[in-house]
Amino acid sequence: MNSKFQHIALIGKHQSAQSAPSTPSSREVIERVAQFLAAQARHVYLEADTASNCGLHEHPILNIQEIGQRCDLAIVVGGDGTMLGFGRQLAPFGVPLVGINQGRLGFITDIALNSIEQALTPMLEGEYTEDCRTLLHAQVWRQGDCVFDTLAMNDVVLNRGATSGMVEIKVDVDGHFVANQRADGLIIATATGSTAYALSAGGPLLYPSLPGLLMVPIAPHTFSNRPIVLPERVEIVMELVAGRDASVNFDMQSLASLSIADKVIVKRSELQVKFLHPKGWTYFDTLRKKLHWNEGNS
C-alpha cells in the first residue's frame, strides 16, 4: 500500500447538501467516498462546514488550517467553483486536491459520480497525473493604502456597474503604459481561467502549464482592442479612470467596490494549486468533452 495518502480530508459544497432529484446529494456522495476510503484503511476527516451542512459526524472534523497541517490529500465533492475556493485556501499548505464533479462543466473536477471507486483506487496507490496551476495575487489600492488583498485561480475581473455605461481603465504592465481602455470591463486570467469568463469574452484557450497570463477586454469600445497573452512574471496595474459603480471580483467569489483612481494590482502568486487526475488524463480529453468538440463524429 502506498503510504503517501493516509490522511484524507473530504470537502463538500457549502451552499447546500441538496441537489437535483436525479443527482445524489453532497451528503450521499461524501458518505460513499468516506466508506470507500475507510475500507482502504485510510484515515478520513471531514472539513468543518461540510460536516455541519451535511449532518455528518462519523469522522474527525477539521478546519482548513488543520487539514493543511494534518492531511496529505483533500477530495472535493462539488463543481469548479467549490474547487476554486478550497484550492485557494489550501494552496499555502501544498495539499493536493482531487475533484469529484457534482457540478455542470467540471473543467477541474473531473471524476464522474459513476466512477468514483474505479478512479480513486489506482490514485490512492500512486497512479495519477499531477497538475500544478498558477494563482494570481491581487490587491486594491486606494489613496496609497491597500484596502483589499486576495488570491484568485481563474481570474481578476474589473467590471462596469450593472446600470452604468462603459468604464475607462488605464492599464500598465511592468510600469509601461499600455492603453486607456474603454470597455464593459477587463479580465486578467490564468491558463486555468482561460476556459471561464475569458473564453466567453473572446479570449484564447491556454494550456494549463503554459506560463502566461491573459488580458481580455469585455465588449471593448474599439474593435482593435484585442486579447493579449502576457508573460507570467509581470505586474499588471488597472486604474479606474472613469465609470460609475465599478467593481472588481476574484474568481467571481469575492468582490470589492471601486472608486475613481483606485488601482487593482495583479501579479502571479508564488503559491500554486496542485490537482491530481486519474492516470491517463489529458487536457484535450477535457476540452473535447466539456466544449463538445468532435460532436457528430463517431
Catalytic option among 49, 72, 80, 149? 80
Burial of 109 (0-12, 13-18, 19+ CB in 10 A): buried
Residue with cell 501544498: 94
Nearest to 82 by CA among 62, 60, 100: 100
Backbone phi, psi, residue 116, to 5°: -60, -55
For the question of residue 80 being annotated catalytic, the response is yes
Distances (CA, A) of 179 to 4, 111, 121, 171, 183: 50, 43, 52, 6, 12
Nearest to 116 by CA among 149, 160, 77: 77
Contact (CB, 8 A) for 8 and 44: yes
Q: Roughly what angle, to the nearest 10 degrees, separates helices 116-124 and 26-39?
A: 40
Nine-digit cell string for 279: 492516470
Nine-digit cell string for 179: 492603453
* Secondary structure of 189-236 as H, E, C letters: ECCHHHHCHHHHCCCCCCCCCCCEEEEEEECCCCCCCCCEEEECCCEE
Interatomic CA distance for residues 52 and 233, integer angstroms:
41
Catalytic sites, residue numbers: 80
